[in-house]
A = this chain, B = another copy of it.
Amino acid sequence: MIGTGPGDLAHLTPHAKKALEESEVVVGYNYYLTLLKPLLENKKILGSGMKREIERGHMALKEANTGKTVAVISSGDPGVYGMAGVIWELIKTTGSSLEVEVVPGVTAATAAAALLGAPLMHDFAVISLSDLLTPWETIKKRIEAAAVADFVTVIYNPKSIKRTHQIEFLRETFLKHRDPHTPVGIVKNAYRPEQEIILANLHNFTQQNIDMFSIVVIGNAQTYQFNDKLITPRGYRL
């Protein structure tokens, strides 16, 4: 399970590159396979579309069970809402004794943070707003806790074409506990050619064009905007 980091090969670690090179089969979401193309020559490639994680997991296990070395790729880090959990869960449920390794990568939260400035310099919470696999009541509870305890908050899967009300609930909840001017950063397609960075605030951020390729970072009570950057003070006396 290899994390390929954000964007292109510039963020792929040598450890991840070596693991890819040693693999005979590479399994991944089609779009991410395209980004890795230069490294995939002479390998068996098994791609599939979005939301096909279980299918890709089974494909990978099937190949590995024939004795092949198989790479399962995730953009970012495979352990953050990625393929690492899927593979471990399948290994457990199928009683497999395959040897596996998780190769970490630069995760979307810190890639977005790097582009925004330094918003994650203090305690933060990471929440996915997708209720496909998680009861909405659980997500609501976490949104409320993050808002109350003044966590910098990173949102994955903030909004899709069909799923639009969750982010409005989040906004309303945060507005009960944080100033409407609290800075909010939105990063789309970090480190890819189509990268987009939007600076907004808690009052107006849901009016921005947010989609499933966006990471939303909401500042804590101390976060401020300086030029085009968001900075959360660590607490030093300067």
Contacts and interface: CB of A to CB of B under 8 A. Distances in A.
Interface string A123-135: 1111110001110
B123 A84 contact: no
A79 interface: yes
Contact of A105 (B106, B115, B229): B106
Contacts of A146: 125, 145, 149
Interface string A216-238: 00000000001001011111101
A120 to B, nearest CB: 5
A14 interface: yes
- Assembly of this chain: how many copies? 2
A141 B133 contact: no
Contact of A53 (B107, B123, B229, B236): B236
Nearest to A144: B149
B125 A151 contact: yes
Contacts of A232: 85
A154 B160 CA distance: 28
Contact of A117 (B102, B105, B234): B102
Q: Which of A12, A18, A77, A110 has the most CB of B within 10 A?
A: A110
A113 interface: yes
A201 interface: no
Given A89-B233, A110-B107, A123 B128 contact: yes
A103 B102 CA distance: 23
A234 B150 contact: no
B88 A231 contact: yes
A54 to B, nearest CB: 6
A163 interface: no
16 contacts: A5-B13, A10-B14, A11-B15, A54-B238, A78-B114, A79-B120, A85-B121, A85-B231, A86-B234, A87-B118, A89-B234, A89-B236, A134-B235, A138-B150, A145-B151, A146-B149
Interface of A: 3, 5-6, 9-15, 18, 53-54, 77-82, 84-93, 102-107, 110-111, 113-115, 117-128, 132-134, 138-139, 141-142, 144-146, 148-151, 226, 229, 231-236, 238
